[in-house]
A and B are shown apart, each in its own frame.
Chain A
Amino acid sequence: MSSGAKRGLGWALGALLLIVLGWWGWQRFRPYAFHGTVLQSAEPAPDFTLMSADGPVSLSDFRGRIVMLYFGYTFCPDVCPTTLFEVQKTMELLGEDADQVQLIMISVDPLRDTPERLKEYVQYFHPSFIGVTGSEDEIAQVATQYGIYYEKHEGTPATGYLVDHTATLTVVDRKGYVKLIFPYGTPAEDMAADLKYLIEH
């Protein structure tokens, strides 16, 4: 082999090594891209205390764990169960890490949803899920603080009134800051990946 050819080979190998190293470094150190919408909260998430069938529940009870807040109502037969089923699957995907995540469903129908009713409803999806409610004023205050829109409108004689509501999931990190929003329809795989990252970092 001529010295020119040898040098050429050396360059080629060097370039290849650089590419491989660069790729490894990028994979290893690139910033994690969340699937959910990331929020940079300057203030901790507003604390609240609402009533569950097993007593009062405050957001601050769960400092050190990740909390997912969902605003919904038990009469809702389509959107709410679709979302809660997706969170159930997320918990399954998280495996052992699932105990680091607490779902709290806050009723936007305090007139019809009792704490007992909410408990039976949410635990159908996962035994760890908690359902809370309060007075109309208390619910309105919490919803406003979290930017949740909800409004009653007339249904049919059989349904009674129905409630339009923001159907996102709000993720509060372990330090108590709102970190992520999962829009309606976010797949369980995406939510599990984001939550796993938050648990590990």
Chain B
Amino acid sequence: MTRRNLWIGLAVAVLAALSLTACQKAQGPQIEITDAWGRPSPKVATAGAFYMTIRNTGTEDDALIGADSDACGVVELHESFKTPEGAMGMRPVQGGKIVIPAGETVELKMGGLHIMCIDKQVDFTPGTKVRLVLHFEKSGDIPLEVEIRQPMK
């Protein structure tokens, strides 16, 4: 093989690799998580809540299907809502998942969607950092660190 052919071969290989990653990036979901925080709560409150902003910059819908944390006995996805009686209620999310449509942002916030930490294993005092692993239907596991802090307005 001449030196020239080698260069051409290399260039083709690089181009192929580039286009492949470009394709991968253009297709499928792309999940970004920002502003993750947990609400401080007293030891006696067995349940805590995590909130965050989940953005899908990809081209395909994805869904948050669950989460795990060493800081919680069980982690569930819940939603607070107004009942027909005008009261506030809370239920596990419908279908057991939170859909993150392609190109959209879903906010987990106070009085709405939240990740519920049941049977807290640690004190949720401000400044504490909690490791959380989010399970997505297509994007798989996304680990993150969540800081316990007072709600901001």
Contact = CB atoms under 8 A, between A and B. Distances in A.
A77 B88 CA distance: 12
Given A75-B47, A156-B76, A158-B119, A164 B114 contact: no
Query: For chain B, which range describes its interface: under 10, 10 to 19, 20 to 34, or 35 or more residues?
Result: 20 to 34
A34 interface: no
B92 A155 contact: yes
A170 interface: no
B6 interface: no
Contact of B111 (A151, A156, A166, A185): A185
B45 A149 contact: no
Contacts, number: 92
Interface in A10-62: none
Interface of A is mostly: mixed
Contact of B46 (A75, A85, A149, A153): A75
A74 B49 contact: no
Interface residues of A, number: 30
Contacts of B110: 78, 82
Interface stretch (A94-102, A117-125, A172-180): A117-125
Contact of B47 (A124, A151, A159): A159
A149 B119 CA distance: 27
Contact of A124 (B41, B74, B119): B41
B43 interface: yes
Nearest to B96: A156
Contacts of A85: 150-151
24 contacts: A74-B45, A75-B45, A77-B45, A77-B49, A77-B114, A78-B90, A78-B114, A79-B80, A79-B88, A79-B111, A82-B110, A85-B150, A120-B42, A120-B44, A121-B45, A124-B42, A153-B89, A156-B92, A164-B88, A165-B88, A166-B87, A167-B87, A184-B88, A187-B153
Interface of A: 74-79, 81-82, 85, 117, 120-121, 123-124, 149-151, 153, 155-156, 158-159, 162, 164-167, 184-185, 187
Interface of B: 39, 41-49, 73-74, 76, 78, 80, 83, 85-92, 110-111, 114, 116-119, 150-151, 153
